[in-house]
């Protein structure tokens, strides 16, 4: 268990579509949270990431109240043995855009000034 | 755990607050990041910092009310950046490291020279025509060696380029080679991809039928459009240019649904036509593989080119290729779909640590006479008989290692940001010019231009995709599966 393993695992889920698809398949047909958590850990370990579901909690945003769990499951298939809707949000990140469309942060001007080239 | 921005990362600002970011030393094409994503990278740029501190620094600049969700999002983004190699956990070496060629390559590429005859007489061609066609006996031995090599090496996929000379002159041999490979590799569960490398002067019904076979594609070599193409690509008998018939055949093949790629072999005398060629390709949505000729002016005949001439050649290439990029970008801005552009011998998706072409490891040439060479260019200079393991034979013919660079303090390439993309250039060309396969590419100036320019172009393509989707600019956008 380590922060680095969790960081690597989440990073792989959101940048490697094949990996995310395999994770999604591994968790399909599992509805019991404990079973999903167990399968997630097993999947991660098999892939070389010593991660437990609790370590992924910081990466999961709160669930908007207006979104039903079932809706999110339908969208993303559900990932993780933790809060299914929140995990689905993480899975949504793997949907091709690589970023959640739910947050309108492109209006923020942070004045990046440095070109490192 | 503290993270910092990798010193190898390159980035360039585009429009609408978008940046293209690329880690040349790690797998994966460049990605697009938005203002927030770039601010997060900036937070790690000053040196090692805890993820939470970086997240806090960025989230503080975001309007209140979103902070709870933003922090988790920024952590995920940090993880994505870490995964792509933009962020690192410890100090990095100041130089890249070169490695010996990996002999247990998981992919095998074979240049199968079915004949050394050609109906064209291009001045720069490296094939010495001898009127030789591969016999059925050699074909069986060659394909058998390909299969046994793939099986022995645990290769998952074999890419065979049916080449010449002009391979369409020996169409029955192409069919026979394909049949044998499908049978042999198929029995071993190994995937096969076949590319016919042609001058495009032949397009009959039998060829069309062959090109409909699964996994078979066509690469048509062109030097430019019209007169630029005809400068060298002339018929052997009449001396007449081939552009008119090649262009007509390409349109016919396209109409028949053939998947084809243009191999743009631009040289010093023809490169000014490259922007026009790009325009021609965009109109037909034909992917382009850009492969500059390795020598300035004079054709490849084995004599030593003057390194001094490459400066002039590079300047011309830069001007011409820049013109090609501008054509593509103009179409992007106009909302036109543009075909893929790939630059040969440069590894943007997967970094090189050995040679840029797999010479001596995963890339082998089999000549029409049944010999093995390490590269089509050396097929008349240094060859060995066919063996059951083609890689071992090819390696014996090119007994050099890029790892030699590591012991040289003055090696400029290992200190270059772009080494994992360029690998120092074509080792055969370096050997010819400098007597050293590990020298700096004579086309270094061009490569230093084209690599960051291509990264910028890929960023613009990603931005175009985001705009076309009509959605918001995400914090990070990458090609699916990339």
Residue pLDDT, tens place only, A18-40: 888 898 888 888 777 778 778 88
Of A8, A90, A103, the CB nearest to B82: A8
Residues of B in contact with A16 (CB under 8 A): 83, 481
Query: What local confidence, expressed as pLDDT, does residue B362 receive?
Result: 87
Q: How near does any CA of chain B get to the CA of A5, in Å?
A: 10
Q: Do B79 and A93 touch (CB under 8 A)?
A: no
pTM given for the model = 0.88
CB contact under 8 A, A96 and B31: no
What's residue B109's pLDDT? 94
- pLDDT of the residue at B343: 96
CB pair distance less than 8 Å for B34 and A114? no
Which pLDDT band, with edges at 50, 70 and 90, does A109 fall under?
Answer: very low
ipTM computed for the complex = 0.79
Any A CB within 8 A of B83 CB: yes
Show the DSSP H helices in B258-334 as ranges. Answer: 274-284, 307-333
Select the residue from B36, B79, B88, B466 to test the A interface by mutation, using most A Cβ atoms within 10 A: B79
pLDDT of residue B67: 57
Q: What local confidence, expressed as pLDDT, does residue B47 receive?
A: 86
Instruction: Using CB atoms within 10 Å of the CB of residue B273, give its burial: 0 to 12 exposed, 13 to 18 middle, 19+ buried.
Output: buried
- 3-class state of residue B384 by DSSP: strand
- Restricting to B residues 25-64, those with a Cβ less than 8 Å away from any Cβ of A are 28, 31, 34-39, 42, 45, 51, 58, 61-63
Residues of chain B scoring pLDDT < 50: 480-482
Which pLDDT band, with edges at 50, 70 and 90, does A86 fall under? very low
Examine residue B165 and say whether the peptide bond preceding it is cis (omega within 30 degrees of 0): yes
Residue A69 confidence (pLDDT): 43
Helix (H) / strand (E) element for B24: namely none
Higher pLDDT, A71 or B424: B424
CA–CA distance, B325 with A54 (Å, rounded to integer): 48
What is the model's pLDDT at position B244?
A: 98
Per-residue pLDDT at B347: 93
Phi, psi for B241 (deg, rounded to 5): -65, 155
| Inter-chain touch A7–B82, beta carbons under 8 Å | yes
User: Tens digits of per-residue pLDDT, B337-365?
Assistant: 999 999 999 999 989 888 988 888 889 99
pLDDT at position A1, please? 53
- Using CA atoms, how far apart are residues B418 and B438, in angstroms rounded to an integer? 15
DSSP conformation class of B456: H
Q: How far lies B268's CA from each of A44, A97, B49, B227, B293, in Å?
A: 53, 41, 49, 14, 8
The predicted-structure confidence for B377-390, as pLDDT tens digits, reads as follows 888 888 999 999 99
Q: Two tokens at A6? A: 């969790």
The Cα–Cα gap between A53 and A72 comes to 19
| Residue whose tokens read 């970011």 | B21
Q: Which of A9, A17, A99 sits opposite B477 (nearest CB)?
A: A99
- Close Cβ partners of B333 (under 8 Å, ≥ 6 residues apart): none
The pLDDT of residue B123: 80
Element (H, E) at B219: strand B216-222
Q: Give the count of Cβ contacts less than 8 A between chain A and B.
A: 137
- Of B309, B305, B345, B337, the closest CA to residue B435 belongs to B305
Whether residue B111 contacts residue B163, with contact meaning beta carbons closer than 8 Å, is answered with: yes
Chain B environment of A92 (Cβ under 8 Å): none
For residue B133, give the nearest of B368, B406, B346, B302 by alpha carbon: B368
Cβ-based neighbours of B340, under 8 Å, separated by 6 or more: B287, B288
Distance from CA of A95 to the nearest CA of B (A): 8
What local confidence, expressed as pLDDT, does residue B63 receive? Answer: 64
Which residues 81-110 of A have a C-beta within 8 angstroms of B?
90, 93, 96-106, 108-110
């Amino acid at each position: 268990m380590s922060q680095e393993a969790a960081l690597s695992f989440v990073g792989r889920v959101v940048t490697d579509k094949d990996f995310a698809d395999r994770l999604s398949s591994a968790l399909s047909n599992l509805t019991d949270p404990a079973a999903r958590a167990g399968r997630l850990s097993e999947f991660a370990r098999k892939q070389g990431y010593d991660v437990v579901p609790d370590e992924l909690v910081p990466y999961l945003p709160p669930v908007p109240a207006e979104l039903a769990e079932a809706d999110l499951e339908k969208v993303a298939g559900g990932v993780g043995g933790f809060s299914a809707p929140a995990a689905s949000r993480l899975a949504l990140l793997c949907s091709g855009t690589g970023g959640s469309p739910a947050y309108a942060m492109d209006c923020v001007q942070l004045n990046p000034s440095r070109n490192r080239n | 755990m503290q993270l910092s921005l990798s010193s190898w990362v390159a980035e360039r600002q585009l429009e609408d607050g978008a940046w293209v970011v690329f880690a040349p030393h790690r797998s994966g094409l460049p990605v697009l990041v938005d203002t927030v994503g770039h601010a997060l990278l900036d937070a790690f740029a000053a040196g090692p910092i805890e993820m939470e501190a970086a997240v806090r620094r960025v989230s503080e600049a975001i309007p209140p009310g979103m902070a709870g969700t933003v922090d988790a999002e920024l952590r995920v983004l940090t993880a994505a950046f870490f995964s792509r190699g933009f962020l690192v956990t410890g100090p990095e070496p100041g130089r890249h490291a070169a490695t010996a060629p990996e002999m247990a390559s998981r992919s095998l590429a074979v240049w199968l020279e079915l004949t050394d005859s050609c109906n064209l007489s291009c001045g720069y061609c490296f094939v010495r025509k001898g009127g030789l066609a591969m016999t059925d006996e050699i074909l069986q031995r060659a394909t058998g060696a390909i299969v046994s090599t793939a099986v022995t090496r645990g290769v998952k996929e074999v890419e065979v380029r049916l080449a010449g000379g002009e391979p369409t002159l020996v169409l029955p041999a192409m069919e026979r080679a394909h049949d044998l490979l499908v049978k042999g590799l198929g029995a071993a569960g190994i995937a096969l991809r076949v590319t016919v490398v042609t001058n495009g002067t032949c397009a009959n019904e039998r060829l069309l039928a062959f090109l409909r076979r699964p996994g078979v594609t066509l690469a048509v070599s062109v030097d430019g459009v019209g007169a630029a193409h005809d400068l060298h690509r002339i018929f052997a008998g009449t001396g007449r240019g081939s552009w008119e018939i090649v262009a007509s055949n390409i349109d016919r093949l396209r109409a028949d649904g053939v998947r084809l790629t243009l191999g743009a072999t631009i040289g010093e005398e023809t490169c000014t036509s490259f922007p026009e060629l790009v325009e021609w390709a965009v109109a037909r949505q034909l992917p382009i593989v850009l492969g500059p000729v390795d020598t300035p002016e004079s054709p490849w005949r084995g004599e030593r080119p003057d390194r001094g001439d490459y400066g002039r050649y590079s300047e011309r290439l830069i001007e011409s290729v820049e013109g090609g990029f501008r054509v593509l970008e103009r179409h992007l801005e106009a909302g036109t779909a543009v075909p893929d552009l790939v630059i040969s011998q440069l590894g943007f998706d997967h970094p090189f640590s050995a040679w840029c072409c797999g010479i001596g490891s995963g890339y082998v040439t089999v000549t029409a006479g049944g010999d093995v060479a390490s590269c089509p260019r050396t097929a008349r200079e240094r060859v060995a008989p066919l063996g059951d393991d083609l890689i071992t034979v090819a390696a014996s013919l090119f007994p050099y290692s890029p790892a030699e660079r590591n012991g040289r303090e003055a090696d400029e390439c290992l200190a270059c940001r772009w080494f994992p993309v360029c690998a120092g250039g074509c080792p055969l060309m370096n050997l010819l010019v400098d007597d050293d396969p590990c020298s700096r590419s004579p086309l270094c100036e061009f490569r230093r231009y084209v690599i960051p320019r291509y990264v910028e172009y890929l960023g613009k393509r990603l931005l175009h995709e985001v705009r076309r989707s009509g959605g918001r600019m995400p914090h990070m956008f990458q090609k699916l599966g990339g």
